[in-house]
Structure 1
Amino acid sequence: MAHFPVNHPARPIYRVLSGLIGLYILVFGVWGVAQTAGESLFGRGSHWVLGLRTNLAFSIASVIFGAFLLIGASRRTNLGHYMNLTAGIVFLVVSILMMAVLQTEANILNFSMSTVIVSMIFGLVLLGTGLYDKIGTPEHADEERNRRNHPVSEAHTRR
């Protein structure tokens, strides 16, 4: 089983990072909905918002996902931890899938290569913030720290 650091000292910075990503995605989505309103849901037009190509479906999904990330960043519980891990994986998987269908009719979210790159960066940052923003009791944090600094694990790293 993986051991996530508990009560990491940089946890507030990670929450701010995930909140800023959520805010960018929310603003992108709202602006995209305003620009693509009245067009088909999965249109392949040339609408660009904040440097990324979009359509109505992608904009609506961005509004939902941006709000999701802002809620996770505003919580001081492990809900944000799990939300960031999930969001990071979703961003990475979607960006890879959309890159695979970039030049085909299956590009239903109207991705461009810049959208793929930004999605991958956001996915990696969210995954990283999710790995380090776990919260627990001081006793749980000490137990996790002791487990990582156990003499047996130190002997393996010296070899």
Structure 2
Amino acid sequence: MPHFPVNHPARPLYRALSGLVGLYILIFGVWGVAKTWGDPLFDRGNDWALGLRTNPAFSLASVLFGIVLLIGASRRSNLGHYMNLTAGVVFLVTAVLMMSVLQTDANFLNFSMSTVVVSMIFGLLLLATGLYDKVGPPGHAEAERRGRNHLITGSR
């Protein structure tokens, strides 16, 4: 059974970090939509936004993902926890898949190696924030804290 810390003291920091990732993705997407406006949806051109190669499909997906991440970061419930875990996995899987087709016609999102690296970094950041931003009732968090202290002192 996985263990997720409940009401971690640094939770606001993790939420802010996931919000910054979401904001970057949203700005990248909006900038990319503006730069690629009028191009075919899955264009393999040489359009760049904020240091990452893009096309209209990738830019539109980034706008949607950025909005979703900002909504998740703004919620004080476990919605953000689950959204960050899911988004982290999605970013990591997408990065690996797009890296495997980087030099082929299957690169429909027009990824470059820098886009793969940034996607992996964002995936790891979102996965880490998702691991530490779980919310629970104060009693549950206190019981978990006591259990951790008991395991630490009992193992000596």
What TM-score bracket applies, with the shorter chain setting the length?
Answer: over 0.9
Q: Counterparts of 2:3 and 2:136 in 1: how far apart (Å)? A: 13
Q: What is the correspondence of 1:17-32 to structure 2 with a 5 Å cutoff?
A: 17-32=17-32
Structure 1 pair 77–100 and aligned structure 2 pair: CA distance change class (3 A): same
2:67 corresponds to which letter in structure 1?
Answer: A
1:42 corresponds to which letter in structure 2?
Answer: F
Q: For residue 40 of structure 1, what is the aligned residue in structure 2?
A: 40
Structure 1 unaligned spans of 5+: none
Q: For residue 57 of structure 2, what is the aligned residue in structure 1?
A: 57
Percent identity, please.
74
Range that drifts further, 137-146 or 44-53: 137-146
How many residues align? The count is 156
CA-based RMSD of the aligned residues comes to 1.3
Q: Counterparts of 2:59 and 2:132 in 1: how far apart (Å)? A: 29
Contact 1:6 1:133 in 2 (8 A): yes
Contact 1:3 1:144 in 2 (8 A): no
Q: For residue 138 of structure 1, what is the aligned residue in structure 2?
A: 138
Q: For residue 100 of structure 2, what is the aligned residue in structure 1?
A: 100
* TM-score, normalised via structure 1 length: 0.94
